[in-house]
């Protein structure tokens, strides 16, 4: 079985540097199964962000640059297995693979179109895919913990593309990449407001975990009590010394924020379908009025009303750019995983 992430350095060095876009050549960072955001430290991000910038440059370049990119991983194949709907995650992974010359074999709606519909377990499906000798398997599943279970029966690196209300580690990587590009490579010393459905929203859980690896961040979780962030995430924050608060007052939280990370109500996961997030959780002109001028507004997308269309024209809106960053970050990640 391939290892999870690791680096040769021992001890926690992530708190020593707050600018990290330059990888340390003395550190050998390894990438295996990508299961949780807490597998990544400073060194992994440094390698990924540098690589993502390089791939962006080549992809935006001339035909020769594009050809260089397309020659990188000829002969390698990625399998993309999605049991839940996806737009950005699946298409950016697959596009990333294709742009680097890899072959892609893909099943969307695997809950309907794979043998899962006949009752096959995820473990058995993954055991079979492992036999096909892919270089990586990108897996999205509706059950929390499914990616970990898959990784336990498989040598091929599993990339968790979202496991129910569990985690979405690659989203948190592209989120961190977006923040780092905005704040001169810095991921510490920030006031981050994470709001919306924090109970069932896996992206909120993963970005909170990842940001807790960096010094002096303060996280304000904004939601109704029923949809507040899980105790497991709060324990992680406490262990890393990341300060936090919980509130249902969006406007108050916005008034001294650097980063807004907003999310939608995860209707498909609600045990109580009558739960809603009312308009006091909608980012609109009123919220823009209290938000500092140098703050940025992020969202993993899709949005379904919780960011009003009027916000799109505001210079602080970053959610479409954030999605675009996902392509280059996922190119970097695939490159590291298959190399």
Q: How many residues bind to ligand NCD according to rule CB under 6 A?
A: 11
Q: In this complex, which beta carbon is closest to ligand NCD, that of residue 203 or of residue 325?
A: 203
Q: What's the angle, vertex CA 171, arms to CA 338 and CA 61, rounded to 5?
A: 65
Q: In angstroms, what is the minimal distance from the CB of 258 to ligand NCD?
A: 22
By CB under 6 A, residue 250 contacts ligand NCD: no
3-state secondary structure (DSSP) of residue 19: strand
Chosen residue from 301, 329, 332, 337 binding ligand NCD by CB under 6 A: 301
- Exactly one of 125, 160, 171, 236 binds ligand NCD (CB under 6 A); that residue is 171
Please name which of 42, 46, 50, 39 lies closest in space to residue 12, comparing C-alpha atoms. 42
Burial, 11: exposed, middle or buried (Cβ in 10 Å; 0-12, 13-18, 19+)?
exposed
What is the rounded distance in angstroms from the CA atom of residue 175 to the CA atom of residue 206? 10
Interaction between residue 300 and ligand NCD (CB under 6 A):
yes
Specify whether 88 is catalytic: yes
Choice from 14, 80, 89, 178 touching ligand NCD (CB under 6 A)? 89
Nearest CB to ligand NCD, comparing residues 13 and 282:
282
CB of residue 23 to ligand NCD, shortest distance in Å: 26
Residue 129 near residue 137, CB atoms below 8 Å: yes
| Contact string (CB under 6 A) for ligand NCD, positions 58-77, x = contact | --------------------
Spatial separation of the C-alpha atoms in residues 9 and 109, rounded to whole Å = 41
Cα–Cα distance between 185 and 247 in angstroms, integer? Answer: 29
**Of residues 100-159, those binding ligand NCD (CB under 6 A):** none
Per-residue x/- mask for ligand NCD, residues 198 to 237, rule CB under 6 A?
A: ----xx----------------------------------
| 240, 212 Cβ separation under 8 angstroms | yes
Shortest gap between Cβ of 66 and ligand NCD (angstroms)?
A: 26
Residue 118 annotated to the active site: yes
Three-class SS state of 261: strand
Segment holding 274, helix H or strand E: none
Is 99 noted as a catalytic residue in this protein? no
Dihedral of CA atoms 232, 236, 239, 240 in degrees, nearest 10, equals: -170
Which of 168, 199, 205, 330 is in the footprint of ligand NCD by CB under 6 A? 168
CA 205 – CA 233 distance, rounded (Å): 7
The residue with its CB nearest to ligand NCD is 300
Query: Catalytic residues, which ones?
Result: 88-89, 118, 140, 168
Question: By the criterion CB under 6 A, which residues form the site for ligand NCD?
Answer: 88-89, 162, 168, 171, 202-203, 263-264, 300-301
């Amino acid at each position: 079985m391939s290892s999870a992430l690791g680096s040769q350095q021992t001890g926690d060095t992530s708190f020593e540097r707050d600018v990290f876009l330059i990888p340390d050549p003395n550190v050998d960072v390894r990438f295996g199964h990508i299961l949780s955001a807490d597998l990544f430290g400073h060194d992994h991000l440094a390698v990924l962000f540098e690589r993502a910038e390089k791939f962006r440059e080549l992809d935006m370049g001339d035909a020769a640059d594009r050809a260089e990119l397309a020659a990188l991983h000829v002969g390698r194949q990625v399998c993309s297995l999605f049991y839940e709907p996806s737009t950005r995650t699946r298409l950016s992974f697959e596009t990333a693979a294709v742009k680097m010359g890899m072959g892609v074999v893909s099943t969307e709606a695997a809950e309907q179109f794979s043998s899962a519909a006949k009752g096959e377990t995820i473990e058995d499906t993954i055991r079979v895919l492992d036999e096909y000798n892919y270089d990586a398997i990108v897996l999205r599943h509706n059950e929390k913990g499914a990616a970990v279970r898959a990784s336990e029966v498989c040598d091929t690196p599993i990339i968790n593309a979202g496991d129910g209300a569990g985690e979405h580690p690659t989203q948190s990587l592209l989120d961190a990449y977006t923040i780092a590009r905005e704040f001169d490579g810095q991921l510490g010393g920030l006031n981050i407001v994470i709001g919306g459905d924090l109970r069932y929203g896996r992206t909120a859980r993963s970005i909170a975990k990842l940001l807790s690896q960096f010094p002096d961040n303060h996280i304000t979780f904004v939601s109704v009590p029923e949809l507040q962030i899980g105790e497991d995430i709060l324990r992680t924050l406490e262990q890393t010394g990341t300060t936090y608060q919980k509130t249902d007052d969006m406007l108050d939280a916005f008034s001294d924020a650097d980063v807004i990370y907003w999310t939608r109500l995860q209707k498909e996961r609600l045990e109580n379908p009558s739960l809603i997030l009312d308009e006091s959780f909608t980012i609109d002109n009123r919220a823009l009025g209290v938000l500092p001028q140098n703050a940025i507004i992020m969202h993993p997308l899709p949005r379904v009303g919780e960011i009003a269309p009027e916000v799109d024209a505001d210079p602080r809106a970053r959610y479409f750019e954030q999605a675009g960053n996902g392509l280059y970050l996922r190119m970097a990640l695939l490159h590291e995983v298959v190399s």
